[in-house]
Chains A and B, each alone.
Chain A
Amino acid sequence: MTKSSSQPYRIKGAGTLSRARTVQFTFDGKSYEGLEGDTLASALLANGVHLMGRSFKYHRPRGVMSAGVEEPSALMNITRDNARTNPNVRASVQELYDGMKAESQNRFPSLSFDVGAVNSLLSPAFVAGFYYKTFKWPAKAWDKLYEPFIRRAAGLGESPTEEDPDRYSNRFAHCDVLIIGGGAAGLMAAKTAAAKKQSVIICDENPKMGGWLLADSDVRIDGKSGAQWAADTVAELQAMDNVRVLTRTTGFGYFQQNMVALNERVTDHLSRPDPDLPRERMWQVRAKKVVIAQGSIERHMVFSGNDRPGVVLAGAAQMWLNQHGVAVGHTVGVYAACDTGYAAAFDLYEAGVNVAAIIDHRAEVSEDLLDQAKTHGIEVHTNANITSTSGRLRINGMTVETSNGETKEFEVDALLMAGGWTPSLHLSSQSRAKPAWDEATQRFLPGVSPQDCVNIGGCNGLDDLDAVFAEAIKAVGGKKTKIEITDDVSTAGGAIGIVGPEEHKGKAFVDFQNDVTAKDIKLAVREGMHSIEHVKRYTTNGMATDQGKLSNMHGLAIAAKLLGKSIPEVGLTTFRAPYTPTTFGSFVGHDRGSLFDPNRKTPIHDWAVEQGATFEPVSLWQRAWYFPKGDEDMHSAVDRECQTVRKAAGVFDASTLGKIEVVGPDAAAFMDKMYTNGWSKLKAGRAKYGIMCREDGFIYDDGVVGKLSDTRFHVTTTTGGAPRVLNHMEDYLQTEFPDMQVWLTSTTEQWATIAVQGPKAREIIEPLVSGANISDEKFPHMSVIECKVCGVPARLFRISFTGELGFEINVPAGYGRAVWEAVWDRAEPMGACAYGTEAMHVLRAEKGYIIVGQDTDGTVTPHDADLSWAVAKSKPDYVGKRGLQRPDLVADGRRQLVGLKTKDPNKVLEEGAQIVRDPEQAIPMKMIGFVTSSYWSGTLGQSIAMAVVEDGFNMMGKSLYVPMPDETIEVEVTGTVFYDPKGEKLNG
């Protein structure tokens, strides 16, 4: 195969690509050759391939229509490997690389023969609102028939089956001027701002900057072609320190205070990407001024048969010719309502393509254009319309109704549509500017933005290059300079809505990606959809991945006409970020896997790892869950740990407990405000259990607080609660009690906390302690003292979360492991064990000690939790005092915390299980509470649970029921203290 025959539509001498740099790729398994610099679409077109996909609903054959991001039809699956397979890639913008594997979508078994095309025959059934009308009854059909059908039919393409192996990075940037769009306007603005020494970022979604300068063969700027001027300007900008030029970078979201999000695609165009490069990079740019130079998008024409492969936008045909050197066909027709159709036709004519005829919808066309057509010998019909097209997998003919009503047939293998240009208002609207309707030119233009941004060039409705440059220079405060410009292209004219006959025999598509026709829009209006937002949702017009870049204006015009309203009265639907589809990967960035959240470890963590502990995550902490010995399972390990603590002793890493140092002359008074019980009268050297409420009276946190002196408290909080407790305290200290002399410091990570619990606890630690007498007499339960342990400054608590004699040794974190090992060296020979969080939970539950957040849920008061003893009655004020007196909180029948014993002692309840009074009642049963904590207690030889139950305190001894899917479990209501109710063990 010779090169020329492999790319039969590549035109010699046209375009800017080098013929020598060929690239091999496959499409649907077949090998093709393209050129470096091609898009996938231009390479396929060079090979004469127009059929690139099947439409979503009717499975109609579709080709590529545009040369940009607005492409609705040519969506491909691009595969590198199983994990790197990207659906819905627009062939019009995907750069070709060597070895690319592209597959068409939405067809079976093949693109040219697709079984789903039968939908097209059934199309009368698939009208607007099809889903709402069809999937209504019978109700049973939902599960088995309708939902599976909709799920299979919904969405295009297939997701990769493996986790994304690529990296995505994230950068913040600041600049004086951010310019979005590197066409003529954007480049001139960048050049001007850069010359003024401003810091500039300019981005463009394409690999090459220049915008439509790359498609326009006639323009000359200072004697250079448009493409050359763009390339030279980019080189100039890249050489400057104050400018950052970002290609393949889409400004996709405009947020508050001139913060714009950019998505840079780093490797998607490379054959063999460097593994050190991220696939994409998200830029969050904060700019003093934003210059939007998004350009405009050409509209298609709405007429019957406007979707056949080979029917393309005129500007796209021009881009493929003048940038890629590719002709869209041998014999083309042109259907125009805008002057740009002529420019495209003339360019193709000059490249040797036969132009069958220009069909102009308008009656009045400039003499100059008609003269040029005449010179080229091109037939022009004004005030004429295309009424239908023919061809199955590619257009082969068009039928025209001329101004005098005659019908003419033309053979064509491609058809160019020039429906006029829609200024891109996406980012302007996202900046909260309201689009402003311009009656003279029948289009929306950017309105005034509340932010410091300005629209220039095509997106502001300009086409004349002189005016565009002047506007760009002015936008960044530059001085007008003399630039030699030759530019005779006019974008005058345009049409929105249906052109030609109102009623069509065939389908006149408005939205190609969602297969919405002009008839669908009309039907929606007739069926009562009078708001454009309703029309959009009922017909799905503009709701596909292209977000209606081609279709929205047409849909709006058709609906407005039928409603008898003007276009601005009906109004546009809202533009939202992202401008084009953006990968989740780029939003996630590095925040995944082990980098998703910090992983907090205690100073004793590595010791537990060495001992073979199993870990569980508790908030961000990794905590030792249990320490299995030999081939013990969790159940037997926990049983052993619990019973060892009760019989001998256990050592437990409690370092994750939240710790806050409350210091200052008013520390006690502040504690009186923050906790429900009193702290002023507590003696230094004593500790107390405290409950913290919110103002509404519900439990917020709890913990033991040691009073080290009259001005210093060592506060402990729940493991996950430390940050919010500190925030809560700071809030009151700073804003309600700002006159109090108190300082709060988080000390969670400064102290390692080693709990030694069990009858032998004192014997274990006593020889290690110096500077304190820890006898029962001198150091009773709930005491605290500053002393030394292993020679290290320590805060020693006599405290118990197990019901046994217990101590908690706090030492500076850096000594944590050394002190732990010293304790362990004494503990192990005495028959003690190390225990984990699961045993800790069982031991505390056997004693009825609650865990805030597990046994309480933000609707439980201290009284509900049977903790009235910890609520001061005489204190004049504390946070939550008034809330606790609210009528609902003092009413009878509140859910109260009780214990549950299962009738079958071996049956362990499920936490969260619901509780009912009468298991025989009809479903839905009245649920009167639920299980909050439930464990197997090896010590007691039975299952134990805690639960909140309506009026629970009055139900002691009564039977209740826990219905489960396979059985109903009978339980007896008890107190919450299952073990050593008199508390004698606390003293060893």
Chain B
Amino acid sequence: MLLIHCPYCEDDRPELEFSHAGQAHIVRPTDMDGLSDEEFEAMFFIRDNPKGIILERWRHSMGCGRFLNAVRHTVTDKFLKTYKAGQPRPTDKDIEDLLK
């Protein structure tokens, strides 16, 4: 069982308190009507499945109820970082630093 740091509660909490909520940093366009079918497909259906670093959303559903983002390594399952929803996507350099 994983320990996940909730950036709102500022505490490491057991995985049981959280629910996974899919890939992070997928922006819902303000002009949904303007999306072509291909763009809608890419936005709604297509997801990354990397071996390595993934940016994903979790919800502290049995805790504060807030959505948060996480940088997780899919091989080790290790959470390298969690941050509040709405904060900017970590840069490649940020991630490289986290991996050190």
What is the interface of chain A, defined by CB distance below 8 A to chain B? 255-257, 259, 284, 286, 432, 450, 695-696, 727, 730-731, 734-736, 738, 876-877, 881-883, 886-887
Residues of B within 8 A of A286 (CB): 3
What is the interface of chain B, defined by CB distance below 8 A to chain A? 1-3, 19, 21, 28, 30, 32-33, 35, 37, 40, 44, 57, 59, 61, 65-67, 76-78, 85-86
How far apart sit A639 and B65, CA to CA, in the bound complex (Å)? 45
Residues of A within 8 A of B32 (CB): 877, 881-882
Q: Distance in Å from the Cβ of B63 to the closest Cβ of chain A?
A: 13
Q: Is the CB of A735 within 8 A of B86?
A: yes
Residues of B within 8 A of A876 (CB): 33
How far apart sit A883 and B28, CA to CA, in the bound complex (Å)? 12
Residues of A within 8 A of B59 (CB): 727, 730-731
Provided the pairs A696-B44, A881-B32 are in contact, do residues A256 and B67 lie with their beta carbons within 8 angstroms?
A: no
How far apart sit A734 and B66, CA to CA, in the bound complex (Å)? 8
Residue of B whose beta carbon sits closest to that of A882: B32
Provided the pairs A882-B40, A887-B37 are in contact, do residues A731 and B2 lie with their beta carbons within 8 angstroms?
A: no
Residue of A whose beta carbon sits closest to that of B4: A257
Residues of A within 8 A of B61 (CB): 727
Which residue of B30, B44, B77, B86 is within 8 Å of A695 (Cβ)? B44
Provided the pairs A432-B76, A735-B86 are in contact, do residues A256 and B40 lie with their beta carbons within 8 angstroms?
A: no
Q: Is the CB of A256 within 8 A of B2?
A: yes
Residue of B whose beta carbon sits closest to that of A726: B65
Provided the pairs A450-B76, A881-B32 are in contact, do residues A731 and B21 lie with their beta carbons within 8 angstroms?
A: yes
Residues of B within 8 A of A877 (CB): 30, 32-33
Q: Distance in Å from the Cβ of A578 to the closest Cβ of chain B?
A: 16
Q: Is the CB of B1 within 8 A of A256?
A: yes
Residue of A whose beta carbon sits closest to that of B1: A259
How far apart sit A255 and B15, CA to CA, in the bound complex (Å)? 12
Residue of A whose beta carbon sits closest to that of B3: A257
How far apart sit A696 and B28, CA to CA, in the bound complex (Å)? 13
* Count of A-B contacts judged by CB separation below 8 Å: 53
Q: Is the CB of A736 within 8 A of B1?
A: no
Which applies to chain B's interface (DSSP): helix, strand, loop or mixed?
A: loop
Q: Is the CB of A284 within 8 A of B1?
A: yes
Residues of B within 8 A of A886 (CB): 37, 40
Residues of A within 8 A of B2 (CB): 256-257
How far apart sit A284 and B3, CA to CA, in the bound complex (Å)? 13
- Ordered by A's residue number, 12 sampled pairs between the chains whose C-beta atoms are within 8 Å are A256-B76, A256-B77, A256-B78, A259-B1, A284-B1, A730-B65, A735-B57, A735-B86, A877-B30, A877-B32, A882-B32, A882-B40
How far apart sit A877 and B46, CA to CA, in the bound complex (Å)? 22
Q: Is the CB of B1 within 8 A of A735?
A: no
Q: Distance in Å from the Cβ of A874 to the closest Cβ of chain B?
A: 12
Residues of B within 8 A of A883 (CB): 40, 44
Q: Distance in Å from the Cβ of A666 to the closest Cβ of chain B?
A: 16
Q: Is the CB of A736 within 8 A of B28?
A: yes
Residues of A within 8 A of B1 (CB): 255-257, 259, 284
Residue of B whose beta carbon sits closest to that of A738: B86
Q: Distance in Å from the Cβ of A70 to the closest Cβ of chain B?
A: 29
Residues of B within 8 A of A735 (CB): 57, 67, 85-86
Residues of A within 8 A of B28 (CB): 695, 736
Instruction: State the 5 A-B residue pairs at the shortest beta-carbon distance, nearest first.
Output: A882-B32, A734-B67, A736-B28, A256-B77, A735-B85
Residue of B whose beta carbon sits closest to that of A881: B32
How far apart sit A842 and B90, CA to CA, in the bound complex (Å)? 55
- 7 additional A-B pairs beyond A255-B1, A727-B59, beta carbons within 8 Å, are A256-B1, A256-B2, A696-B44, A727-B61, A730-B59, A734-B85, A735-B86
Residue of A whose beta carbon sits closest to that of B2: A256
Residue of B whose beta carbon sits closest to that of A286: B3
Residue of B whose beta carbon sits closest to that of A284: B1
Residues of A within 8 A of B86 (CB): 735, 738
Residues of B within 8 A of A734 (CB): 66-67, 85
How far apart sit A236 and B16, CA to CA, in the bound complex (Å)? 37
How far apart sit A410 and B32, CA to CA, in the bound complex (Å)? 88
Residues of A within 8 A of B35 (CB): 882
Which residue of A450, A881, A887 is within 8 Å of B33 (Cβ)? A881
Q: Distance in Å from the Cβ of B75 to the closest Cβ of chain A?
A: 9
Residues of B within 8 A of A730 (CB): 59, 65, 67
Q: Distance in Å from the Cβ of B40 to the closest Cβ of chain A?
A: 6
How far apart sit A954 and B35, CA to CA, in the bound complex (Å)? 31
Q: Distance in Å from the Cβ of B43 to the closest Cβ of chain A?
A: 9
Q: Distance in Å from the Cβ of B37 to the closest Cβ of chain A?
A: 6
Q: Distance in Å from the Cβ of B30 to the closest Cβ of chain A?
A: 8
Residues of A within 8 A of B40 (CB): 882-883, 886
Residues of A within 8 A of B44 (CB): 695-696, 883
Residues of B within 8 A of A887 (CB): 37
How far apart sit A877 and B65, CA to CA, in the bound complex (Å)? 26
